[in-house]
Chains A and B, each alone.
Chain A
């Protein structure tokens, strides 16, 4: 699998070797991020607070923002969510679970050929609306669907 990295790390006894590798980009000790993790948005207790934290204006409903979720989640701990934006120039997609204690679940920025779509697996504490927000050309769009969350049985 990633034997090259492991072999290199095991044999890199001199700091010079490591420094050389960092220079070539083979080892990347820190990320280069466009922005810091947005504490205010992620810890907001409702959708309005999360959107405000992300600096989003009121989103308008869009049929070109496709949200695929199960009607009933087999398990609230792992709910598959797929979002595809057919809105031109979509730069970001955010996903929120309205009734979660902290609704903002994830935000993704796309560049350099990435298509504006994402699959993720989310935790849902209870039956709730799952909301996708797309940012395109400075404007915000939204689509939502309800996912029912049940308690599992005592079977396998």
Chain B
């Protein structure tokens, strides 16, 4: 297992390029919380939560679900095949209902533990004939562009609305992935010597107005899972869990993880697995 961990971490470290970033804004030291700051958080949080239900009610994420549905059902790619007729998300070919909450899971045909985005990309490559490198070149959305994979993930996630998270942690390979994910979350590196746990490993942390969920607890993990894929109000962009992992790495001043890699799948297995048993409400809305 140690071998796997080293392998996964090498996958992160070998990705160059992103390491030489000049920090845009100083990152608040999470440890410096005083009593008055915690009170202010409660007032603001209460305020945000007052409108949260209303915001989630008509969530622009639905616009991306609609696009994803079209892309799932249309014959595309060099092999001119629809994902609806070729892609097995774990419950059978083309079966979307309830698939999202059961991932990450181990897929024998790929011999890998895969999160939803990684699995859909795998289907796009293996079944539709798209090139992985083409997808990986622009895998995430910005104000002017939303990649197909983002729409597809949103669509698939929406079909697990109101279902319980059920990552199959009892399976040995998934359990192993969870263990590695837990170690990655604790691994300190980068110029700030941060780990995921620095921000997300204890209760009550906050950066400016955003509360940081404790991803090692069921409630905290569920907050993380509920957020991504999510429509981010800043910039009006649809972003996925895979994106968030990469962006966390960036904010820790780590090299970016390889897109749809083992490392990300293991981290997601840890995070989503910790949320097992709780109800997923579908694609979220973020600040």
**Interface residues in chain A, defined as those with a beta carbon under 8 Å from any beta carbon in chain B:** 1, 70-72, 74-75, 77-78, 80, 119, 150-156
> Closest approach, in angstroms, between the C-beta of B265 and any C-beta of chain A?
19
A12 to chain B, nearest CB (A): 20
* A74 B287 Cβ-Cβ under 8 A: yes
Contact A75 B210 (CB under 8 A): no
**Total A-B pairs in contact (CB under 8 Å)?**
65
Q: Which of B44, B47, B287 meets A75, CB within 8 Å? A: B287
List the B side residues contacting A119 at CB < 8 Å: 54
In the complex, the answer to whether A72 meets B44 with C-beta atoms within 8 Å is: yes
Kindly identify which residue among A1, A72, A77, A156 contacts B244, using a CB–CB cutoff of 8 Å. A156
Q: Which 7 A-B pairs have the closest CB atoms?
A: A153-B208, A155-B210, A153-B210, A153-B207, A78-B233, A75-B233, A75-B287
Query: What are 5 A-to-B residue pairs whose CB atoms are below 8 Å?
Result: A71-B47, A150-B208, A152-B209, A153-B207, A155-B199
Q: Is B234 interfacial (CB 8 A cutoff)? A: yes
**Residue on A with the closest CB to B205?**
A155
Chain B residues touching A, range: 20 to 34
B residues adjacent to A (C-beta < 8 A):
25, 27-28, 44, 47-48, 50-51, 54-55, 66, 199, 206-212, 224, 227-228, 233-236, 244, 247-248, 251, 286-287
B48 touches A152 (CB 8 A): no
Tell me, in angstroms, the Cα distance from A92 to B207 when the chains sit together: 42
Given contacts A77-B236, A151-B208, A155-B199, 15 further A-B contacts (CB under 8 A): A70-B51, A71-B47, A72-B44, A74-B48, A75-B287, A77-B233, A78-B233, A150-B208, A152-B209, A153-B207, A153-B209, A154-B25, A154-B208, A156-B227, A156-B228
